[in-house]
Structure 1
């Protein structure tokens, strides 16, 4: 089972190694947009939207990796004071009853919108923008699947490890 968890971790880890370069590309694109606008008087809606697309892609596709490395937002009002066994129970409860069901619901309810967007190849957000909103909307199910895969990997580890006293 731990090999399955390792394989699932590998998906998010590998994806993170690729998409992390979007952060640099996004900064460079934004810099070019600002220089173009204020130095040369040139403006491009598509270039501005490209930063939005890169930011969305980076955020949505890196969320699983963020969960993997335990850098997600955690409301630990009680969690920090619990024993390792108590923390493990909270983590298992969170994955089984909160995270996985909420991702399943988001995937289910967003799918018709994504499917419709692909069927009409939904166009730009603004006139002159990138004609690929259908790709942007596709990030929603990708986000759900990546989070669910990572949640399953973490759940496997939680259920296979020996609880500390």
Structure 2
């Protein structure tokens, strides 16, 4: 136990040094024309060093906001929630594209008996079988799920079933929210990210990298590094860019992790400042119908 505590303290103490090295030597991990830089990026993207840099930054910002000036935390909350809303509102258009494309496929396939769809934007030609476009609809669905998850959370639109939360006081709810952020959201999404990170890279390049590979081994593997982007579909003429789904899983993890931090900070601030601060600075969407907006706010817990 003592050895573990010493290990944690050492990594926390070294976190500023590791961050300084990464900032001052970007070519060592961002120059992707160099295979060793790619391997460093892959290694550090899910490394112990990166984990402690992120968590130390979270702890320092939290301490500054709690002990010195709460506006620091409010600013961070507003920035993170604005990011979640911006990404989500943009990605939500994929839902409209999915519907329009599905209607187009049905008409072309069932009525006009078209075998393929060809697009030629800006003088280029992109032609794929109709089954390719049909399977590609799953990508739009994945975009909505992965990139709108934090946006939906900010808007209070996730389905919520509880037996205790709605019956307790404002301050008790905020304590529950803080506990859930720290002990459920952050650990769960961190573990998911660690698996998703290497799962993604295994479908983008060779040789295969794993979570158990150390940096020295990965630098040796850089000698045989080459891009090998997955282009295998489930059917001969089907959608063949499934590597995009792996990238979206990582993006999903990042979005949820950032929202977990923002939710913890918001819950703490609303706990400190009282019930009048509930929904402070929140950017909620409206339908234009006051009754419907009020009903949504009541069900989402934002009022």
Length-normalised TM-score, structure 2? 0.52
Partner of 2:193: 107
Shift of 1:115: 0.7
Q: Which moved more, 1:94-103 or 1:75-84?
A: 75-84
CA deviation profile, 1:81-122 (whole Å, cap 9, x unmatched): 111122111111111111111100110112221111111311
The structure with the larger Rg is 2
The structure where helix makes up a greater share of residues is: 1
Shift of 1:24: 1.0
Partner of 2:256: 147
Q: Whole-Å Cα distance in 1 between the matches of residues 150 and 140 of structure 2?
A: 17
Partner of 2:59: none
Shift of 1:65: 0.4
Partner of 2:86: 14
Q: Which moved more, 1:118-127 or 1:101-110?
A: 118-127
Instruction: Answer yes or no: is the 8 Å Cα contact 1:125–1:133 preserved in 2.
Output: no
Shift of 1:134: 1.1
Deviation >3 Å, runs of 4+: none
Instruction: Answer yes or no: is the 8 Å Cα contact 2:197–2:250 preserved in 1.
Output: yes
CA RMSD of aligned residues (A): 1.4
Structure 2, unmatched stretches of 5+, are 1-72, 116-129, 206-227, 276-303
Match of 1:38 among 93, 110, 130: 110
Instruction: Answer yes or no: is the 8 Å Cα contact 2:81–2:262 preserved in 1.
Output: yes
Structure number with the bigger relative contact order (C-alpha 8 A, sep ≥ 6) is 1
Cα separation, partners in 2 of 1:83 and 1:111, compared to 1, 3 Å: same
Partner of 2:177: 91
CA deviation profile, 1:47-101 (whole Å, cap 9, x unmatched): 1122111111111100010111111122312111111122111111111111111
1:58-97 alignment runs, 5 A limit: 58-97=144-183
Partner of 1:122: 230
Q: Which moved more, 1:61-70 or 1:125-134?
A: 125-134
